[in-house]
Amino acid sequence: MRRNLEATIEAFPIAGLFTISRGSKTEAEVITCSISADGFSGRGECVPYRRYGETVEQVLADVLAVRPAIAAGANRIEIQSLMKPGAARNAVDCALWDLEAKLTGTPVAERLGVVPHPITTAFTLSLAEPDAMAAAAAQHAHRPLLKVKLGTTDDTSRMRAVREAAPASRIIVDANEGWTEQNLEEHLHVAQEMRIDLIEQPLPAGEDALLARIERLVPICADESVHATADLAGLRDRYDAVNIKLDKTGGLTEALHMKAEARRLGFGIMVGCMVGTSLAMAPAALLAQDVDYADLDGPLLLARDRQPGLDYEGSTLFPPPSALWG
């Protein structure tokens, strides 16, 4: 059965401006991969990320480079060695999962032994001045879980402003590598005072050894410091949790292994995302069924999503429909 791979670049406008410590953007550029066989087509989406040396053009080329291997019958297991972890492999891996489900008539959730149920996702507030972040927090104070982008030299005022505006919400803060050894402990103390649940990636990847030597007053989660299963063992002394993203692991196949090993090593688990459409969130929603934190709000940040898309009611994310993926 011959299979054909196609891939395209698509752009989806963001509702407003999405800002983190490294910059801002107004649209999500994604790559959509489609693999067809026997009258069926499976799809996957990835979001190239410059922080990891990825460009849209190069990731598209990497996806298209495996077209001959896919045509020759390469499966999900084989592409783990044919492609490196990252966005390109994610698109191909998820397209293969979707195609397998359609060819066999067996949903991905059933193959995973998962009975999918609605989950609560974090909702992300962009980095801004404290007053603006407080206003955004007040607008979304009804949500049970907020994720607050930080990463400046003075995030104490931002944490206080957001907590005052959203007194009942659980809060994750994400510094995106923006804190320093000089301000880390001050920020940790304020985070504890403000009842912050979790702090993501306070220090730059590769420059985070200090986290093993200080008292972690609030649990700390690795994001930029962890990509795939092989990274986990070396992080046990400095992180309490890990953020698993399909665009980092290179797809659902590796993410499942990473999740199991993270559990075995005693890490808390977040399943996160880049800013993408419902197609990118759908496989992650199955991965996130039983984790500590889900951060799969990508479509909520867009001005326009794919149709059909995922169903959200407030911060409740419902299982993906088969017409979308899986």
> How does pLDDT run across 132-179, given as a tens digit for each residue?
999 999 999 999 999 999 999 889 999 999 999 999 999 999 999 999
Whether 185 and 276 map to the same domain: the answer is yes
Residue 23 backbone class (left: φ over 0; alpha: ψ -120 to 50; beta: rest): left
Band (pLDDT 50/70/90 cuts) for residue 308 is very high
102 labelled catalytic: no
Residue 140 lies in a domain: yes
Residue 83 has pLDDT above 90, yes or no: yes
Band (pLDDT 50/70/90 cuts) for residue 278 is very high
Residue 304 has pLDDT above 80, yes or no: yes
Alpha carbon distance 269, 267 (integer Å): 6
Alpha carbon distance 223, 246 (integer Å): 12
Q: What is the pLDDT of residue 294?
A: 98
The answer to whether the CB of 273 falls within 8 A of the CB of 298 is yes
The answer to whether the CB of 47 falls within 8 A of the CB of 27 is no
Residue 23 has pLDDT above 90, yes or no: no
Average pLDDT value for the chain? 97
Whether 269 and 133 map to the same domain: the answer is yes
Whether 168 and 254 map to the same domain: the answer is yes
Residue 311 lies in a domain: yes
Residue 1 has pLDDT above 90, yes or no: no
Q: What is the pLDDT of residue 39?
A: 95
Q: What is the pLDDT of residue 144?
A: 98
Beta strand 145-149 with 170-174 is parallel
Last residue of a domain, one of 75, 106, 137: 106
Residue 306 lies in a domain: yes
- The rounded percent of the chain whose pLDDT value lies above 90 is 96
Residue 114 lies in a domain: no
The arithmetic mean of pLDDT across residues 180-185, rounded, is: 95
The answer to whether the CB of 211 falls within 8 A of the CB of 238 is yes
- Here the CATH number for the domain that contains residue 41 is 3.30.390.10
Whether 76 and 180 map to the same domain: the answer is no
Residue 22 has pLDDT above 90, yes or no: no
- Here the CATH number for the domain that contains residue 258 is 3.20.20.120
> How does pLDDT run across 115-127, given as a tens digit for each residue?
999 999 999 999 9
Whether 79 and 165 map to the same domain: the answer is no
The answer to whether the CB of 123 falls within 8 A of the CB of 146 is yes
Whether 129 and 61 map to the same domain: the answer is no
Domain that holds residue 222: 119-317
Task: From 19, 57, 42, 58, select the one nearest 158 (Cα to Cα).
Answer: 19
The two tokens of residue 76 are 């999900």
Whether 214 and 285 map to the same domain: the answer is yes
The arithmetic mean of pLDDT across residues 27-53, rounded, is: 96
Q: What is the pLDDT of residue 154?
A: 87
Residue 325 lies in a domain: no
Alpha carbon distance 20, 274 (integer Å): 12
The arithmetic mean of pLDDT across residues 18-44, rounded, is: 94
Band (pLDDT 50/70/90 cuts) for residue 111 is very high
Residue 303 lies in a domain: yes
Last residue of a domain, one of 53, 78, 106: 106
Q: What is the pLDDT of residue 21?
A: 80
Q: What is the pLDDT of residue 41?
A: 98
Whether 49 and 28 map to the same domain: the answer is yes
The arithmetic mean of pLDDT across residues 80-101, rounded, is: 98
Number of residues that make up the chain: 326
For residue 99, what is the enclosing H or E element? Answer: helix 87-104
Residue 159 lies in a domain: yes
200 is in an annotated binding site: yes
Q: What is the pLDDT of residue 67?
A: 98
Residue 323 lies in a domain: no
Helix (H, G, I), strand (E, B) or coil at 313: strand
Domain tally for the chain?
A: 2
The arithmetic mean of pLDDT across residues 234-245, rounded, is: 97
Last residue of a domain, one of 52, 79, 106: 106
Residue 314 has pLDDT above 90, yes or no: yes
Whether 151 and 297 map to the same domain: the answer is yes
- Which of the following is catalytic: 102, 147, 245, 259? 245
Whether 253 and 277 map to the same domain: the answer is yes
149 labelled catalytic: yes
Judged on CB neighbours under 10 Å (0-12, 13-18, 19+), 39 is exposed
38 is in an annotated binding site: no
Q: What is the pLDDT of residue 17?
A: 87
- Which of the following is catalytic: 84, 102, 147, 149? 149
The arithmetic mean of pLDDT across residues 272-301, rounded, is: 98
231 is in an annotated binding site: no
Distance in Å from the first CA to the final CA of the chain: 20
Whether 195 and 272 map to the same domain: the answer is yes
Whether 152 and 254 map to the same domain: the answer is yes
> Is the entire prediction scored with pTM above 0.75?
yes
Task: From 230, 223, 293, 291, select the one nearest 263 (Cα to Cα).
Answer: 291
